[in-house]
Structure 1
Amino acid sequence: MFARIYKPSKTAMQSGKAKTARWVLEFEAETARRLDPLMGWTSGDEMTSGQVRINFDTREEAVAYAERCGLPFRLDPEHQPKAQPKAYSDNFSFRRRKPWTH
């Protein structure tokens, strides 16, 4: 069983940053998923891949847990998006490159 430790990024569907403050330990699949011949659904035999997800407050706690349990793991670096300062008044600026239209 191979574990992956990462900090989830912001979802693309919402502008909020909920569920991005904690570190996550997930197990990666050892075998590929297969197509069920009768129903056409994708299925797998492993219970741990995609279903077991452990949350931690810090990266050190997640690494310590993996080492204590003897799990080989991959640590993904934390991604910090660049803040782009924006103002509503910039929509009506004379220096705007493109005209503001609907």
Structure 2
Amino acid sequence: MKKAIIYIPNKNPMQSGLAKNDKWILEFKTKDPTTNPLMGWESSSDTLTELKLEFSSKDLAINYAKRKKIEYELIEPRKRKTVKKSYADNFLK
């Protein structure tokens, strides 16, 4: 049976904003990773691992996985903590 992970990818550290951070990704797990004896790289004969599907919502990704009978693991995004600071706080302590 196929296994997959559904998640929202982390933003690029070179970005400062949160735009384009609302896509849910369905990514397949590798069934049988092997090590290439010549180069030592990890390889697999499973081509589904190269496939990443994008969805606009979590529900669409879950429904797709259920419809295609894909066993999935859902990774919920963490809430971002924002601390409101004032410039004057630098001088009050």
TM-score range, shorter chain: 0.7 to 0.9
Give the 3 Å change call, closer, same or farther, for CA 48–19 of structure 1 in structure 2: farther
Q: Which has the larger Rg? A: 1
Question: In the TM superposition, what are the counterparts of 1:28-43 in structure 2 within 5 Å?
Answer: 28-34=29-35, 36-43=36-43
Give the drift of 1:29. Answer: 1.1
SS of equivalent residue, structure 1 residue 93:
helix
* Bigger relative contact order, structure 1 or 2 (CA pairs below 8 A, ≥6 apart): 2
Please tell me the root mean square deviation across aligned C-alpha atoms, in Å. 2.1
Unaligned runs of 5+ in 1: 96-102
The CA distance in 1 between the partners of 2:76 and 2:6, in whole Å, is: 9
**Residues 45 and 90 of structure 1: is their aligned pair in 2 closer, same or farther, counting only changes over 3 Å?**
farther
User: What TM-score do the two structures reach when normalised by structure 1?
Assistant: 0.73
TM-score w.r.t. structure 2 length? 0.79
Amino acid at match of 2:59: E
Distance 1:45 1:16 in 2: 38
The alignment of Structure 1 onto Structure 2 pairs a total of residues equal to 92
1:4 aligns to what?
A: 5
Contact 1:7 1:24 in 2 (8 A): yes
Name the SS of the counterpart of 1:65 in structure 2.
helix
Q: Answer whether contact 1:9 1:79 (CA < 8 A) is retained.
A: no
Off by >4 Å, runs of 4+ in structure 1? none
Amino acid at match of 1:54: L
Q: Look up the match of 1:48.
A: 48
Structure 2's unaligned 5+ residue stretches are: none
Aligned-pair identity in percent equals: 32
